[in-house]
Structure 1
């Protein structure tokens, strides 16, 4: 079951990321790396942050345990949906009214002229928050029924709509292209919802919603205080888990968000450099770490709930070595082929060689933190399974604060490169603290496999040798860089 779920998540994420890279390639070709690309990336940053935080665990880690345990599932699910959806609608309206204020918060370093251009773009993109909440709420319900494919593949729809928008608007004014992109984000969100609704209908969840709305209406109409109090208890219990889980699952994304804010104070193009590099960094993190943790969490949680810690550790050990091997290979390969990767993906149109070299170095700075960020995810699941969301949040907060401090220290001498390096430093702090609270003894049990460690060293050495000769005999992209 674990392997099947992992492969489903991984294949779906790979499909979505392939379309994501085609999207980024198209954006680099049409927009390049400048003021207008910075405007769109800033506007899309917050809804994209929200999507990643929710879809990569925070909501599911809180909602699923609560949904499983409550007796009145229909009432509970509809109540949670309405609370979030109504709040996000009002929040988006607020952003539309005070778009200048919120744009200044998102990109404080932009000058007044750039802020003026960015305001309507920010307002449009914020509406994606409502759509992506619906998507992730529906995904949690589908995962309850062991349906993973929709959650894994749905992001491809968003990327496809953005690619189509870029193709249609490629010959238009650059600012008009940014508008096309922003509206395509909303269209993509609607398509994602429709895909989930199809699966929900097939699994008869639509009936659950209808029943839930009907029951809530009758409870409110007849003012049934007992049932109202029961619903309130379930909701309070959910939010007691949700807010710590939200912080605990979002360290990397919040760090990236802060990096974007700080990058707006640097030279033009810095926001775009960070975005392009982070997009590639996110591929192995999503393809392996997120796919494994998504499949692993419900199984580990059930084993711990049944007091079967030995089997949970055994499963965690298998996941650890799969992740260790895959991420280590990605780190070595990514560092060795940094220039070639960026050249292949982005260097065309308005994306120049100087942009390639800048993004390549930032990409390496992000890669340094790939292993600690990825491995920390699976060990944090242990804390969530024991309902230690507050502890996980504390660990993430410490990591985040340290990352911000290093960003402020390193951004002046190293620019965008210093921001990416600070993110990796925060990743190591996150991993060390997570392992400490997971348990040093249990961690030693997991890594106690000399054959696997020796095999890893051999594989990485062979990879190094292959890439060494490859780079010296194939002058790909005009680069000649010693490893």
Structure 2
């Protein structure tokens, strides 16, 4: 498993850099726009492009595509790749054209909560038209990245998300030169999409050479491509339930008190750091390894259970740390410029509300990866639909009953955690059908979880030894906050690892044949 760790480390490193730049981007957004009407308009208009970006960067497309790819690039593989790229590009181009043509209707429907605020509504519509082509560019990037990942070419595909954050940072800094400052941020998203697609196409050319279009491609004669395209909608929906739930949440948040969208967004960005860096990296790299051993059920589920153990070893202490350091983290990242103390408190509450969802979805990413390799996409789809329906019903109830409540945004965060728990329990029940629970009992023993829990308790005690009061962190300068948060986090990590080492966890992580 040394290769697994090295590849996971490579992907995690680039994702970590991307997330750090993402936080810098969000710090600048908070500084320049806070939770203003312009910021909320941008968040709504950006939701569709952001949805596609989250899906493509989360490894979901790699998860779906990998079983259809071979280890080497043959003529048959080139035809498969060309067919998939051509067909999806045409479909997405038509969708983008239709979305631009009917942008008035889409914005009126999706941002109905802002229908009485014409200034915000107009901003949403204009930025929606500017950014919607990013859906085409980024989905194509996601498909190409899936091909690269499937052939263990992680460098370029892991680097591409960095481009969006870099270009958006430039857009935010240059926004003061625009009559409507927020438009600069919208245009930066479009420019980033073009750059990402060019880089992805270059990497694909280096891997597979020139992909010439032929009559067979136009007529969709490639059997493997037909199979993939037929399964993709169902598999895509089933895997992207977290991202789809985010779209639904945005719609309902528009009915709540002003600022709700921004608070949920900033809290979600902190959660996505852990989900993206660890959950995505592990899931992206584990797929090729699981595909190789899918014919041997014993080895397959043993490896899957071991990966689940590693995932929990990372996720559980990270969530404990987030819970303890939620306020200092929010202050360090966002309390600048137009971001007020009220915004800090609301964002921290939303962050705490999302914690259970974070844990559940990271574990689900591992389990779902195993289910896809075992061709259980249809069952994942049914679970996803059920969870989405429950989510919509719960959110409707929250908006109807608590619309005027200043804490209603927090109830939406709790709703996400509840849906995530339902999703996780459903996936676990599904895995029981394949006797996965026996492998979990063997390779994720109760003693191991107890050791992790002891490590978390010791880490909690160490973190509480620092001054975590609001007044102290607010009084610090930017560099003072960064320095202190790094020291606190490193102290927690060192204490956790030290306790686990004393308890002998290292030996229990060895994967025995």
Task: State the TM-score, normalizing by the size of structure 1.
Answer: 0.90
- 1:400 aligns to what? 388
Change (3 A) 1:71 1:430: farther
1:247-303 residue CA offsets vs partner (Å, 9 max, x unmatched): 111111111111100010111111111111101111111111111111111211221
1:466 aligns with 2:433: no
2:138 aligned residue (121, 132, 136): 132
Aligned-pair CA distance for 1:408: 2.4
1:477 aligns with 2:473: yes
CA distance in 2, matches of 1:478, 1:15: 26
1:367-404 residue CA offsets vs partner (Å, 9 max, x unmatched): 12221111111111221111110001111122222222
1:439 aligned residue (421, 432, 437): 432
Change (3 A) 1:84 1:102: same
Q: How many residues in Structure 1 have an aligned counterpart in Structure 2?
A: 461
1:182-212 residue CA offsets vs partner (Å, 9 max, x unmatched): 1111111122123223323333x232x13xx
Change (3 A) 1:473 1:339: closer
- 1:206 aligns to what? 209
CA distance in 1, matches of 2:271, 2:469: 27
1:123 aligns with 2:147: no
Aligned-pair CA distance for 1:323: 1.2
> What does residue range 55-74 of structure 1 map to in structure 2 within 5 Å?
55-68=57-70, 72-74=76-78
CA distance in 2, matches of 1:474, 1:161: 33
Higher mean C-alpha displacement, 63-72 vs 14-23: 63-72
2:356 aligned residue (334, 343, 368): 368
CA distance in 2, matches of 1:71, 1:386: 26
- 1:309 aligns to what? 297
Give the gaps of 5 or more residues in structure 2. 476-513
> What does residue range 14-413 of structure 1 map to in structure 2 within 5 Å?
14-68=16-70, 72-112=76-116, 113=118, 114-170=120-176, 172-173=178-179, 176-203=180-207, 205-207=208-210, 209-210=211-212, 213=213, 216-217=214-215, 228=219, 230-231=221-222, 233-304=223-294, 307-411=295-399, 412-413=401-402
Change (3 A) 1:219 1:269: closer
Alpha-carbon contact 1:52-1:253 (below 8 Å) kept: yes
- 1:449 aligns to what? 445
Give the gaps of 5 or more residues in structure 1. 221-227
Alpha-carbon contact 2:391-2:415 (below 8 Å) kept: yes
Change (3 A) 1:472 1:5: closer
Change (3 A) 1:138 1:468: same
CA distance in 1, matches of 2:371, 2:331: 41
Aligned-pair CA distance for 1:4: 1.8
Aligned-pair CA distance for 1:172: 4.8
Aligned-pair CA distance for 1:219: 7.5
Higher mean C-alpha displacement, 457-466 vs 107-116: 107-116
Change (3 A) 1:187 1:390: same
Higher mean C-alpha displacement, 267-276 vs 400-409: 400-409
Alpha-carbon contact 1:328-1:371 (below 8 Å) kept: yes
- 2:506 aligns to what? none
1:74-122 residue CA offsets vs partner (Å, 9 max, x unmatched): 2222222122112222222222222211112321211250222221110
Aligned-pair CA distance for 1:234: 3.3
Aligned-pair CA distance for 1:218: 7.4
1:317-376 residue CA offsets vs partner (Å, 9 max, x unmatched): 221122112111121111111111111100110000000000100010001222111111
Alpha-carbon contact 2:328-2:470 (below 8 Å) kept: no
Aligned-pair CA distance for 1:47: 1.2
Let me know the Cα RMSD of the aligned residues: 2.1
1:418 aligns with 2:424: no
CA distance in 2, matches of 1:444, 1:219: 45
